């Protein structure tokens, strides 16, 4: 076969559906696609996922396919059998070994279901509180902390035989734009990039990260061509990543259907330029026709020399090396018989080991997630005289928590704090609050709080919803002592800087809510520390 005929190997594709019949065989077997990405839309139960991934692998007669997902933890969990903590919670816990253990647990569950590659960890240093898409997906604002926890995350995955992907190179942490919607720009010079953004990626490379995902972000210090994101920049991918940082592993793009690419050079043209620039594998997550069109365009570009033969050979070498590593890592996993977290059974083909499906959502993993949530709980301000709570003089107002950015998956509406309070403090009066309460709702809630000395307000991205800020201010004006429970990380404290104190959650999930409430009830200490700077406080 000619190099052009191998173009499909440079693609990772997504599809809709949950059954083997939904898998695009014409692309995987027919076009020789090298990888598949799974989203929540594809994942229903451990057994269903195992059957789906087994079918996908059956379409590849030689090397195993890369089967990936974004199982970051926290607000990005494509499959939630265990409510794994996210990166900022782990950064707040400040225990790299805990990060390693959590990462190993995540990887064991993925491996059990036949998913051999995680598009994690996020190594963006979130120094911009206004960042709309990274935020709590980052370990924090200190590049050394991000680097240390990122390396621990990589080690945990390798212990469990799953590939890792450091993202988003060269860094998406200091943006105020979501690249799903538009092109973000980071204007800093190379000296600053070396001191902040690149530190975690250097450490990840030293830790043996299996892949690095590119950012659809424009770095003028790296790329002089205007409005050229790193994903399609030879100076970013070849000059900076390959030559300056010395990385020789797999480079994969973020999804090429994101608007930072699609509304710029276009998805198909962007794919060609990304491979020419130094990307080894391109990700097209959603649209089958774009996937087919892009494969045809890459074949044509190889044929006419726009993508040089040497560049294709390098990319194929790295893709195939990653696929071969998947097979070796799975085969090296120990076999067991007791169904514990370390247990492995042979796949139907007998060629590799997999954890038993019973590991997915097992009691050991649920307790590990709860341990991490407890370690992350962070108290700020003055809670003296408030903790332990007296339910008779306290009111809880809990804002509805639901996804607001594209990268998140839909969840049940409501607040996990409200649900946790019903179990842990049934005598505590609690009221649900809409995401952006109107003036009438604020007035009603202030009247409801008339008999309470202390009002707990469980906020949710308060800087984006002015009604939440108005509620806090109205309660303060009415003489109530306000304690915040930010459900989505510490940045809500910037929107309401004069509250008495706060107990910070880092994701709107049940273990985090329970840990925060137990702290307020005086049942557990707040051991976490803020992993980001809050300059306005």
Domain ranges of the chain: 4-363, 377-520
The average pLDDT across 348-359 equals: 61
Q: Please report which confidence band the pLDDT of residue 409 belongs to, taking 50, 70 and 90 as the band edges.
A: confident
- In eight-state DSSP terms, residue 107 is H
What is the rounded average pLDDT of the residues 242-259?
97
Is residue 157 among the annotated active site residues?
no
Taking the C-alpha atoms of residue 59 and residue 44, their distance in angstroms, rounded to an integer, is: 21
Tokens of 253: 């793009």
pLDDT band at 333 (very low <50, low <70, confident <90, very high): low
Query: 182-196, 202-216, 320-334: which range is least confident on average?
Result: 320-334
Answer yes or no: same fold for 4-363 and 377-520. Answer: no
Q: Residues for the chain: how many in total? A: 537
Integer angstrom CA distances of residue 66 from 42, 118, 325, 385? 16, 10, 10, 54
Question: Phi/psi class of residue 522: alpha, beta or left (left: φ > 0; alpha: ψ in -120 to 50)?
Answer: left
> Cβ(484)–Cβ(351) under 8 Å?
no
Beta carbons within 8 Å of 426's beta carbon, 6+ residues apart:
none
Give φ, ψ of 277 to 5 degrees.
Answer: -75, -20
Q: Are strands 184-185 and 217-218 parallel, antiparallel or unpaired?
A: parallel
| Tokens found for residue 480 | 């109530």
Query: Between these two residues, 331 and 196, which has the higher pLDDT value?
Result: 196
How far from chain centre, in Å, is Cα 494? 23
CA distance 379 to 315: 48
What is the pLDDT, as a whole number, of residue 180?
Answer: 81
Contact in structure between 71 and 77 (CB atoms under 8 Å): yes
* Measured distance CA(324)–CA(317) in Å, rounded: 10
Phi/psi of residue 26, nearest 5 degrees: -65, -30
Residues 20-68: pLDDT tens digits? 999 999 999 999 999 999 999 999 999 999 999 999 999 998 899 999 9
Is the CB of residue 397 less than 8 Å from the CB of residue 433?
yes
* 31 CB-contact burial (10 Å; exposed 0-12 / middle 13-18 / buried 19+): buried
Among candidates 107, 53, 46, which has minimal Cα distance to 329? 107
pLDDT of residue 497: 86
pLDDT of 369 higher than 70: yes
Residue pair 67/41 in contact (Cβ under 8 Å)? The answer is no
Give the burial string for 256-291 (b: 16+ CB within 10 Å, else e).
bbbebbbebbebbbbbbbbbbbbbbbbbbbebeebb
- Catalytic pick from 6, 158, 172, 180? 180
Does residue 408 or residue 454 have the better pLDDT?
Answer: 454
Check if the beta carbon of residue 125 is closer than 8 Å to that of residue 200. Answer: yes
Q: What are phi and psi of 457, to 5 degrees?
A: -115, 110
Q: Which two tokens stand for residue 37?
A: 């990405």
What stretch of H or E contains 166? strand 165-169
C-alpha–C-alpha distance, residues 68 and 90, integer Å: 22
Q: Give the residue-averaged pLDDT of 272-284.
A: 98
Active-site hit among 70, 142, 178, 254: 254
Q: Read off the pTM.
A: 0.94
Q: Which residues is 97 bridged to in the sheet?
A: none
Taking residues 398-406, report their average pLDDT.
88
- pLDDT category at 300 given cuts 50, 70, 90 is very high
In this predicted structure, the answer to whether residue 349 has a pLDDT above a threshold of 50 is no
Q: What is the share, in percent, of the chain residues with pLDDT greater than 70?
A: 95
Is-catalytic flag, 180? yes
Pick 4-363's CATH classification: 3.10.20.30, 3.30.30.10, 3.20.20.300, 3.30.300.130: 3.20.20.300
Mean per-residue pLDDT, 160-179: 92
CATH domain 377-520 topology: Rossmann fold (3.40.50)
Give the Cα separation of 242 and 239 in Å (integer). 6
Please, what is the average pLDDT of the chain? 93
């Amino acid at each position: 076969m000619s190099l052009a005929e191998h173009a499909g190997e440079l693609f990772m594709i997504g599809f809709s559906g949950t059954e083997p019949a939904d898998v695009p065989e014409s692309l995987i077997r027919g076009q020789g696609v090298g990888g598949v990405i799974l989203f929540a839309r594809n994942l229903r139960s451990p057994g269903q996922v195992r059957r789906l991934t087994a079918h996908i692998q059956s379409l590849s007669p030689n090397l195993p396919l890369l089967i990936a997902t974004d199982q970051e933890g926290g607000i990005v969990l494509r499959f939630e059998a265990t409510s794994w903590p996210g990166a900022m919670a782990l950064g707040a816990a400040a225990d790299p070994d805990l990060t390693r253990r959590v990462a190993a647990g995540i990887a064991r569950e993925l491996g059990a279901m036949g998913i051999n590659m995680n598009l994690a960890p996020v190594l963006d240093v979130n120094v911009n509180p206004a960042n709309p898409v990274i935020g709590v997906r980052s370990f924090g604002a200190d590049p050394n902390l991000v680097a240390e926890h990122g390396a621990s995350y990589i080690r945990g995955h390798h212990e469990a035989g799953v590939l890792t992907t450091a993202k988003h190179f060269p860094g998406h942490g200091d943006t105020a734009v979501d690249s799903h919607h538009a092109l973000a720009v980071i204007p800093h010079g190379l000296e600053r990039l070396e001191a902040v953004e690149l530190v975690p990626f250097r450490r990840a490379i030293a830790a043996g990260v299996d892949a690095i995902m590119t950012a659809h972000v424009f770095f003028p210090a790296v790329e002089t061509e205007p409005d050229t994101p790193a994903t399609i920049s030879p100076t970013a991918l070849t000059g900076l990543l390959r030559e300056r940082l010395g990385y020789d592993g797999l480079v994969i793009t973020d999804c090429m259907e994101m608007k930072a690419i699609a509304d710029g050079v276009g998805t198909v043209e962007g794919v060609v330029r990304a491979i020419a620039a130094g990307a080894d594998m391109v990700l097209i997550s959603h649209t089958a026709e774009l996937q087919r069109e892009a494969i045809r365009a890459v074949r044509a570009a190889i044929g006419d020399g726009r993508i040089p033969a040497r560049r294709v050979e390098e990319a194929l070498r790295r893709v195939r090396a990653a696929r071969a590593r998947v097979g070796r890592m799975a085969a090296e996993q120990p076999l067991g018989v007791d169904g514990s977290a370390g247990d492995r059974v042979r796949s139907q083909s007998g060629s590799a080991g997999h954890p038993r499906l019973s590991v997915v959502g097992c009691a050991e993993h649920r307790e590990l997630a709860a341990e991490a949530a407890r370690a992350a709980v962070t108290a700020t301000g003055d809670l003296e005289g408030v903790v332990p709570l007296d339910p008779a003089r306290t009111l809880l107002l809990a804002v509805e928590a639901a996804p607001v950015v594209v990268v998140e998956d839909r969840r049940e509406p409501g607040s996990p704090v409200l649900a946790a309070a019903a179990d842990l403090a049934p005598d505590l009066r609690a009221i649900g609050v809409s995401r952006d309460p109107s003036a009438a709702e604020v007035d009603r809630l202030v009247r409801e709080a008339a008999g309470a000395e202390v009002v707990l307000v469980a906020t949710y991205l308060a800087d984006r919803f002015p009604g939440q800020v108005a509620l806090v201010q109205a309660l303060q004006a009415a003489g109530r002592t306000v304690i915040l429970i930010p459900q989505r990380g510490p940045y809500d404290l910037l929107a309401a800087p004069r509250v008495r104190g706060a107990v910070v959650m880092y994701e709107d999930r049940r273990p985090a809510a329970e840990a925060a409430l137990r702290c307020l009830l005086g049942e557990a200490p707040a051991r976490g520390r803020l992993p980001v700077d809050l300059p306005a406080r």
